[in-house]
Amino acid sequence: MFLAHLLRDAGLAAVVLEQRSRLYVEGRVRAGVLEDGTAQLMERLGLAGRLRREGLVHGGVTLASEHGVFRIDFAALTGRAITVYGQQEVMKDLFDAAEARGIEVVFEAAEVMPHGIDGERPHVTWRADGAEQRLDCDFVVGCDGSHGASRSVIPPGALTTYARDYPFGWLGVLADAPPAAEELIYANHERGFALASMRSATRSRYYVQCALDEAPEAWPDARFWDELTLRLGPAGGGLTRGPALEKTLAALRSSVTEPMRFGRLFLAGDAAHIVPPTGAKGLNLAVADVTLLAAALAEHYAERSDTGLDAYSACALARVWKAERFSWALTRLTHRFPAEGAIERKLQLAELDYLATSRAAQTAFAENYVGLPLESFSLGRG
């Protein structure tokens, strides 16, 4: 949807094929943190009206461990911030504006399949209302995740995937209760990781690290709140308990697929890479991908140049790998790994102590958390 708006802004037509209904997409709870660049893009595209009114701007983040609690000041270190605004709210804004701007979105498109991606004129087929539909186009962009149709039509051996599955999950609870603090809290406790976040001033989102084979049903509300309170420690002094509206278990995975192009098919977002939720990079990486791709497509049509298209994969991957590194490092810093012992725990705490006292370390952390500037990743121009 971001890509469709970017292309329309450049005077280019695109059709978005969505497998689910609009109601389903707008109802599913996903990411909640927008990097500075994502918020700025929404502003530039004229999509930021509700974001300005309802988004929660955070100028920092708090980290906690048994050694104490400290805050990293994004605003002071980088001059930038993050904004808490749910992905489902972003989707509502994108859909509303698409309707007003005449961007074509086909909902409940079944059996979507790209064809002829290695030729000059690809096309896409899907089924709607019991009949097969076909769209001839210049390019196809797969934004359909790691198990989508886009990846399936690329020949075996053309892609290389680098992946790591983590030996734990996140048990998440959504509750109608005010947040424990004004900003996010990442807690490293001897019993495991915890995160205090929010979706609004009245709705909170909390997570605790748990085993992958644990069922959400094994965590009644009282057990969850007790464990969360213990792991947050003094940092969670403002915690308010409330009935869980939703309780889910999410596995953590790092994955990057290279290259992000085959012929006239381009991959973006989860179709090319997955990050653990630590650091909130998933949605923001997808937006960065399509921002680069939209610029390359605009150059192709305006200047009859394929320089940007040819550079897309390498430029996008340069940013992807840096975000993967940050998310992996933050996961390592804040979680307890089953196979690790006392020395790894001591090293973890030493790293946290260094981060608490080093402005240089905090600056590097802040730069990565608010999002590396997209202009640092030029499309084939050095």
Residues making up the chain, counted from first to last: 382
Q: Which one from 5, 189, 273, 281 is the annotated catalytic residue?
A: 281
Q: Which one from 114, 207, 277, 335 is the annotated catalytic residue?
A: 277
Tokens of 154: 């690329």
Q: Which one from 5, 58, 189, 335 is the annotated catalytic residue?
A: 58
d(CA 266, CA 292): 12
d(CA 314, CA 228): 41
CA atoms within 13 A on the CB side of 102: 5
d(CA 236, CA 263): 51
What is the bridge-based pairing of β-strands 15-17 and 204-210?
unpaired
Tokens of 224: 């969850």
User: Which one, of 5, 231, 178, 158, lies nearest residue 96 by Cα?
Assistant: 5
Tokens of 309: 């298209």
Q: For the CA atoms of 230, 235, 238, 242, what is the dihedral angle to 10 degrees?
A: -40
Q: For the CA atoms of 268, 274, 278, 283, what is the dihedral angle to 10 degrees?
A: 20
Tokens of 103: 């961007």
What DSSP letter does each residue of 110-164 carry, written as one string?
EEEEEE-TTSSS-EEEEEETTEEEEEE-S-EEE-S-TTSHHHHTSPTTS-EEEEE
Which residues make beta-bridge pairs with 254?
Answer: 164
277 is catalytic: yes
Q: Which one from 85, 166, 207, 369 is the annotated catalytic residue?
A: 369
Which residues make beta-bridge pairs with 175?
Answer: 204, 244
Give the CA distances from residue 51 to residues 58, 59, 61, 237, in Å, rounded to whole numbers and listed in that order: 13, 16, 20, 28
Q: Which one from 85, 186, 207, 312 is the annotated catalytic residue?
A: 186
281 is catalytic: yes
Q: Are 115 and 149 in contact (CB under 8 A)?
A: no
Catalytic (active-site) positions: 58, 186, 277, 281, 369
